[in-house]
Amino acid sequence: MSVHAIVAVASDWAIGRQGELLCHLPADMKHFKEVTMGHSIVMGRKTFESFPRRPLPGRQNIVITRNRQWQYPGVTVVHSVEEAIAAAETEDVFIIGGADVYAQTLPLVEVLHLTVIHARWACADAYFPTFDMTEWQEVEREHHTSDHRNAYEFDFITLKRRQP
């Protein structure tokens, strides 16, 4: 099994504000769908509840919560990070956030799919955890300019954890 994480970050590693994403980038939504489709996705209960349409179709949705009563149709509910990874039914499992869950799972992640948005939001309140870039190797980078649908420039970057 391979553990991946996928995240869209601003230039200062911010990822959200008031329980929502920082901006709407259709090109990134499409990329997220392409990368995660058919796989197990692991998320915190707050991220799951932020989706307008849920669970996300075509993927095993695994939601982590401490609330033993919480359930939702079509969702695999777990109560720890370890349980989340063990519950994954696909070979590749994708951690999809939010800040709390990224911080706890990053040590397990082997491949990091970053969308780096070339902008900053002063009102951000959720951040990707800091990490040592020397432990990672960049294996892909694709630059995108802004256009009429995507208001910001961004890069799709894939990092793989270096073998010790």
Ligand X SMILES: NC(=O)c1ccc[n+]([C@@H]2O[C@H](COP(=O)([O-])OP(=O)(O)OC[C@H]3O[C@@H](n4cnc5c(N)ncnc54)[C@H](OP(=O)(O)O)[C@@H]3O)[C@@H](O)[C@H]2O)c1
83 to 102, contacts with ligand X by CB under 6 A? Answer: 96-101
71 near ligand X, judged by CB under 6 A? no
| Distance of alpha carbon 43 from alpha carbon 95, whole angstroms | 6
Start-to-end Cα distance in the chain = 19
Please report how close the Cβ of residue 163 comes to ligand X at its closest, in angstroms: 26
Q: Given candidates 80, 86, 89, 140, which one binds ligand X under the rule CB under 6 A?
A: 80
Q: Given candidates 21, 23, 108, 119, which one binds ligand X under the rule CB under 6 A?
A: 21
155 near ligand X, judged by CB under 6 A? no
**What sign has the CA pseudo-torsion 79, 83, 88, 92?**
positive
Instruction: Between 68 and 162, name the residue whose CB sits nearer to ligand X.
Output: 68
Counting residues that bind ligand X (by CB under 6 A) gives 29
67 near ligand X, judged by CB under 6 A? yes
31 near ligand X, judged by CB under 6 A? no
CA dihedral 160, 30, 91, 8 (to 10 degrees): 40
Nearest to 8, CA basis, from 139, 152, 132? 152
79 near ligand X, judged by CB under 6 A? yes
116 near ligand X, judged by CB under 6 A? no
What six digits make up the tokens of 88? 């994954």
Report in angstroms the alpha-carbon separations of 91 from 2, 88, 129.
6, 8, 25
Give the interface with ligand X as residue ranges (CB under 6 A): 7-8, 15-16, 19-21, 43-47, 50, 64-67, 70, 79-81, 96-101, 104, 126
